[in-house]
A = this chain, B = another copy of it.
Amino acid sequence: MTKRPQIYLFGDSITEESFDVGGWGASLSNFFSRTADVVLRGYSGYNTRWVLKVLERVFPVSQGGDSGTETAPIALTVFFGANDACLPNRCSAFQHVPLHDYKENLCSIVSFFKKRWPTTKVILITPPPIDEVARLRYPFENNPEGLPERTNEAAGEYARACITVATECHIPYIDLWTKMQQFPDWKKVYLSDGLHLTNGGNQLVFEEVIKKLRDEGLSLESIPVDLPLVSDIDPNDPLKAFL
């Protein structure tokens, strides 16, 4: 009997909050309830620069035993960029990472995982689009100019950089920035505060991750159920199922 397969969710607040009511992380856990463990590694406010400083601490080699016996997760989502894309001259400037650095950092993060776990399906998720008007409805303490700390245009540049990294690294990606904006009412349906996800937004991310995992060969059909389902147990001789 081996350990149950694991799917890691690694990202910023949109990942950290993904087990809140209706969240995409909880939905994944529920979907894979008998087949895989969904492990949350979400860090609100973090950008790729900070992440690079803590990668070894978030994913210590001792995890799952010493490196020789460590089991690679079957999949891992990497969902950073929303904070890197904060504008350098606005109130969240301390989270900003220049576009070029973001690209390099994201590359390094992917390389870290590919070196550590060559078989793991690493999926990049772009930052979501930004509703600038909605951002101003959630005022920051130090924002004398009253301008949004993020713009949709900047988020789009980081989204495209994320896709470039995925393409160069030959790994799958979810273009959330584009996908959401294909829906006319995206600002209302998908975003709660112009950045974070509504239930609708969470549902979209969940469905996109499921779809991407399926493309990579990971689905309820391909991952074995850990133990007999009650529907497969013979009511006349239940214990037979456990021999």
* Nearest chain B CB to A41 CB, angstrom units: 9
Report how far A60 CA is from B242 CA in the complex, Å: 15
The interface size of chain A toward B, counting residues with CB under 8 Å, comes to: 53
Say yes or no: is A73 at the interface (Cβ < 8 Å to chain B). Answer: no
Decide if A29 is an interface residue (CB 8 Å cutoff).
yes
Min distance, Cβ A85 to any Cβ of chain B, angstroms: 16
The chain B residue sitting closest to A199, CB to CB, is: B21
Q: Are B29 and A40 in contact (CB under 8 A)?
A: yes
Residues of B with C-beta under 8 A to A22 = 21-22
Q: Does A53 contact B (CB under 8 A)?
A: yes
Are A2 and B62 also in contact (CB < 8 A) when A23-B26, A230-B45, A242-B50 are? yes
B-contact 0/1 string along A148-162, CB 8 Å cutoff: 000000000000000
Check B50 against A238 for contact (C-beta < 8 Å): yes
Cβ of A115 within 8 Å of any chain B Cβ, yes or no, is: no
User: Do B242 and A54 touch across chains, with their CB atoms under 8 A apart?
Assistant: yes
- Complex contact A29–B37 (CB within 8 A): no
- Asked whether, in the complex, the Cβ of B19 is within 8 Å of the Cβ of A242, the reply is no
| Smallest CB separation, A67 vs chain B (Å) | 10
Q: A23-B30, A37-B40, A42-B33 are in contact. Are A226 and B58 (CB under 8 A)?
A: yes
Closest approach, in angstroms, between the C-beta of A197 and any C-beta of chain B?
14
CB-based contact B233/A45 at 8 Å = yes
Interface residues in A190-243 (C-beta closer than 8 Å to B): 226-227, 229-231, 233, 235-236, 238-239, 241-242
Contact A37 B34 (CB under 8 A): no
Whether A43 touches B227, Cβ cut-off 8 Å, given contacts A20-B30, A33-B16, A56-B1, is yes
A57 at the interface (CB under 8 A from B): yes
Q: Apart from A21-B22, A53-B242, A94-B235, what are 15 other A-B pairs with CB-CB below 8 Å?
A: A1-B62, A2-B60, A2-B62, A17-B33, A19-B26, A20-B30, A21-B21, A23-B30, A29-B29, A33-B42, A44-B230, A46-B230, A58-B227, A65-B66, A94-B236
